[in-house]
Chain A
């Protein structure tokens, strides 16, 4: 593991090779907003909120910090008018799905995002994949997974596994940015294994 140095917001940051831009920034105390990131989980790059601008060999491009690997001599900008505008748009689009998410509303306040910009299409789930990935990678129970694709994609519990594993775990509940996970669980529970609920 060799040491590398990159520049984040004008500050020289030392990092290990193989670290993502997000990890490097956080290790230096530079905050980048995220929704789908979790230290124990593999990078996923779903919410795109951690978007930053990097400059490599004189070329600038927009990347998501949670999956983009830090490299020696990389120049990163984590806040600018352009980046804030993109983040505001992402937040506004996510708010159309989950208008009352506490986390999203906090971010909206911070970035001046308008909660009512887009017509509400309350699916509640924003597909961050935290529950699905936590259950698979940390607990290795695979009680919840994605089904379908595109605009119909949603999370779904496997009733047989959920009935056995979930009541004593529920570790994914606080991870959900919108509380949709809890709702999906209660629905599964009431439909598939009502007798075991307390």
Chain B
């Protein structure tokens, strides 16, 4: 992520220490993760100690300190999805992407995450990619859906 972009985001929030989380969220949503250089810049501009930023960035699951893929796959492991076969969907995705939950593939294409409920149990098993929900998944459909992402 280039310095100017981080600079602009900080500027947009008037380098206000109380906007720290918002700034981090903006960086995260544009860059998919929080590089150390960006955090150091935020720390300097906002005059907030790096230790504090690190505490916040590791506290919330929305932030990542390691590179994330361009597409975030979330597979629901809730009870309804589980009985409808979400484990099969998960192993299919693991097989196709070659990564385990919590990991990112080497091309930075996909990051895989399991979640406990996406709140649409009637559609189970549910998979969500970049906020788009795919319901009533089968392993064959999973493959098609993953192939449609670049």
Contacts of A144 in B (CB 8 A): 51
The verdict on A145 contacting B49 (CB below 8 Å), with A156-B54, A158-B54 known, is yes
B121 within 8 A of partner (CB): no
Interface string of A136-160 (1 = CB under 8 A from B): 1000001111111100000010100
Which residue of A is nearest B48, CB measured? Answer: A142
B59 touching A142, Cβ below 8 Å: no
Which residue of B is nearest A146, CB measured? Answer: B55
B52 within 8 A of partner (CB): yes
CA distance in complex: A142, B58 (Å): 16
Contacts of A161 in B (CB 8 A): 50-51
B55 touching A142, Cβ below 8 Å: no
B50 touching A147, Cβ below 8 Å: no
Task: Give how many A-B residue pairs fall within 8 Å (CB-CB).
Answer: 31
Which residue of B is nearest A147, CB measured? Answer: B58
CA distance in complex: A148, B54 (Å): 9
- How close is A193's CB to chain B, nearest CB, in angstroms? 16
- How close is A176's CB to chain B, nearest CB, in angstroms? 17
A158 touching B55, Cβ below 8 Å: no
* A136 interface neighbour in B49, B54, B58, B59, Cβ under 8 Å: B49
Contacts of A132 in B (CB 8 A): 51
Contacts of B50 in A (CB 8 A): 142, 145, 158, 161
Contacts of B49 in A (CB 8 A): 136, 142, 145
CA distance in complex: A149, B61 (Å): 10
CA distance in complex: A142, B59 (Å): 17
Interface of A is mostly: mixed
A149 touching B51, Cβ below 8 Å: no
A143 touching B58, Cβ below 8 Å: no
Which residue of A is nearest B61, CB measured? Answer: A149
Which residue of B is nearest A156, CB measured? Answer: B54
Contacts of B59 in A (CB 8 A): 148-149
Which residue of A is nearest B65, CB measured? Answer: A147
Which residue of B is nearest A132, CB measured? Answer: B51
B51 touching A158, Cβ below 8 Å: yes
- How close is B16's CB to chain A, nearest CB, in angstroms? 19
CA distance in complex: A148, B59 (Å): 5
- How close is A123's CB to chain B, nearest CB, in angstroms? 16
CA distance in complex: A146, B54 (Å): 8
B55 touching A147, Cβ below 8 Å: yes
CA distance in complex: A183, B51 (Å): 19
Contacts of A146 in B (CB 8 A): 55
Which residue of A is nearest B36, CB measured? Answer: A160
B58 touching A149, Cβ below 8 Å: yes
Q: Which of A72-99 contact B (CB under 8 A)?
A: none
Interface string of B42-68 (1 = CB under 8 A from A): 000000011110110011000000000
CA distance in complex: A48, B105 (Å): 44
CA distance in complex: A143, B50 (Å): 9
CA distance in complex: A149, B56 (Å): 10
- How close is A164's CB to chain B, nearest CB, in angstroms? 12
A148 touching B51, Cβ below 8 Å: no
- In this complex, the member of B49, B51, B52, B59 whose beta carbon has the largest number of chain A beta carbons within 10 angstroms is B51
